[in-house]
Amino acid sequence: MKYIPTIGIECHVQLCTKTKLFSEVDNDARGKEPNSCVSPVDYALPGMLPRLNGEAIKYAIRAGRAMNCEINASSRFDRKHYFYPDSPKGYQITQFYHPIIGEGYVELPSGTRVRIEHAHLEGDAGKLTHFKDYSLVDLNRVDTPLIEIVSMPDIHSAKDVHDYCKELWRLMCHAGVTNGDLYNGNMRFDVNVSVAEEGSEKLGTRAEIKNLNSFRSAERAAEFEIKRQTKLLEAGEKVKQETRGWDDATGKTSPQRSKEEAKDYRYMPEPDIPPINLTKEFIDTESAKLPLMPMDYRNLFHDIIKEDVLEVLLDYPQLMNKLGEIALSSHLGHTQGRSAELMVLDGTTSAISLTSNLFTSVLLAEEKSVEYLNDLPSAKDLNELAEMNEKKELSSTATKEVFLHLFDPQMKGRGTKQIAKELGLIQENDLGALEKIVDIVLAKPETQKAQIDFKAGEEKVIGFLVGQVMKESHGKANPSSVQEILRKKLK
């Protein structure tokens, strides 16, 4: 008997707005002291009222469009009640009844489509650190804006779990709505796994694995659950509906001790926040701010950049952005099914393939690459670099050298040509000039023996002679032309 897994995923994305969802304090608490990003509103003093951050609404619209979702003109906030020190108000402000983001879908690189059921805005919770006989509460993260993305149970393999999580991460990063810093929990995944006999009408009982913060652990957790549940069913046992935790070290999920069962959140419309009713114009303006998405780039570059290289580059929105600039001469900040009519400009193909290679083989190899990402050379400089490389004015080593100097604070801005000159890396292609140098070398006594040997058919000494000419030319000569001239002269 074959068992088929069915998997749905809930993903929490922290939005990178400047301030929190309901107060004007710094929203990025990374590396800041505990409780240093907390307002009286977040601390939930009596009489404090939420002050909604309009930017979060706009970010939500962009995030929704990135997932091909409907944007609901009317949405409103609700209160979800539970007592825990990470929730100062005693309730979470969320969108239970009327979420802002409606149905849509995410298309994986494999082509699999995962439908989005809806996504809603809500405030994050604080952080507890547990010690032997007490716990400490840090409220920095309280009411950081989140969108919770709820997928349909369209996933049927652990690999697709990985790919879905990763594609979501890319979509959100390209949309520019999150810092995408997984290490700091900017994105967290809850994976709902159930297993049922092949062909059976209804789904099996599901277990939810909460708070996975990497694609890999989401994949491994799903893998483990599928095996665990399949074993149970094969043994004729039942799967318990429960919340389970994942341990990366042991690679196992285990039941989470919690009062989850019989939890009654007593949702209630949030009376302190007026409803949101967006006009079509407002939604369209925000949607238009969505830059090119991974799928657009795949359509754009599939026959220019090798797939594996492209998939690496897609993890870096800034790099894709730059390639987009080169390909489309100017960066397009618009959206909606336009990927179809997008086309790479003639003559930019070689620039794109060279630059994409430099990005992966040179830039990403640098350990300072992260800083570089936010301050990339202009498309013009990169185009010029590709041109010089093509015209053989720069050897491949020289090209890499110049490329790196385009990031050099002292040199950048001077333009590729200028930098190449200053570094003295432009190859000598003028045959007349080269012949003069060759004659000088051939006149030198230390090359006489080599010349005789070569004429005697000693092929390999040509290398030595070329080397001498390169030395004489301080490396500026184009080796292939040098060899040509030598052969002519030593006939």
Tokens of 482: 């040098």
- Find tokens 């000039």 and name the residue: 433
AA letter at 384: E
- Look at the alpha carbons of 468, 473, 475, 477 in this order and tell me if their dihedral is positive or negative: negative
Q: Quote the DSSP letter at residue 336.
A: S
- Of 83-91, 247-255, 327-335, 390-398, which segment contacts another protein by CB under 8 A? 83-91
Rounded to the nearest whole angstrom, what is the least distance from the CB of residue 73 to another protein in the complex?
Answer: 11
State the pairing for strand pair 113-123/127-130: unpaired
Q: Does 255 bind another protein (CB under 8 A)?
A: no
Residues 27-46 contacting another protein, CB under 8 A = 33-36, 38-40, 43-46
Q: Does 210 bind another protein (CB under 8 A)?
A: no
Q: Does 273 bind another protein (CB under 8 A)?
A: yes
Tokens of 298: 């795949």
Using alpha carbons, select from 155, 124, 116, 167 the residue that is nearest to residue 142. Answer: 124
Rounded to the nearest whole angstrom, what is the least distance from the CB of residue 169 to another protein in the complex?
Answer: 23
Q: Does 131 bind another protein (CB under 8 A)?
A: yes
Q: Does 272 bind another protein (CB under 8 A)?
A: yes
- Of 132-140, 181-189, 467-475, 477-485, which segment contacts another protein by CB under 8 A? 132-140
Contact assessment for residue 189 and residue 213, using Cβ atoms and an 8 Å cutoff: yes
CA distance 264 to 260: 9
Q: Does 128 bind another protein (CB under 8 A)?
A: yes
Residue selected from 211, 242, 256, 267 as contacting another protein according to rule CB under 8 A: 267
Q: What is the DSSP string of 165-185?
A: HHHHHHHHHHHTS----GGGT
Measured from the CB atom, the residue of 57 and 344 that comes closer to another protein is 57
Using alpha carbons, select from 272, 211, 257, 268 the residue that is nearest to residue 82. Answer: 268
State the pairing for strand pair 242-247/207-212: parallel
Rounded to the nearest whole angstrom, what is the least distance from the CB of residue 149 to another protein in the complex?
Answer: 22
Q: Does 73 bind another protein (CB under 8 A)?
A: no
- Of 64-72, 247-255, 270-278, 395-403, which segment contacts another protein by CB under 8 A? 270-278
Residue selected from 13, 25, 168, 419 as contacting another protein according to rule CB under 8 A: 25
Measured from the CB atom, the residue of 33 and 346 that comes closer to another protein is 33
Q: Does 9 bind another protein (CB under 8 A)?
A: no
Residue selected from 1, 2, 47, 409 as contacting another protein according to rule CB under 8 A: 47
Residue selected from 12, 62, 65, 89 as contacting another protein according to rule CB under 8 A: 89
- Find tokens 């570059």 and name the residue: 301
Tokens of 71: 């944007």
AA letter at 308: D
Rounded to the nearest whole angstrom, what is the least distance from the CB of residue 69 to another protein in the complex?
Answer: 20
Q: Does 275 bind another protein (CB under 8 A)?
A: yes
Helix locations, 176-279, DSSP H: 215-234
Rounded to the nearest whole angstrom, what is the least distance from the CB of residue 56 to another protein in the complex?
Answer: 8
Residue 7 pairs with which residues in a beta bridge? 155, 193
Q: Which helix (H) or strand (E) holds 118?
A: strand 113-123
* Residues at the site binding another protein, with contacts judged by CB under 8 A: 17-19, 23-26, 33-36, 38-40, 43-57, 79, 81, 83, 85, 88-91, 128-139, 264, 266-269, 271-278
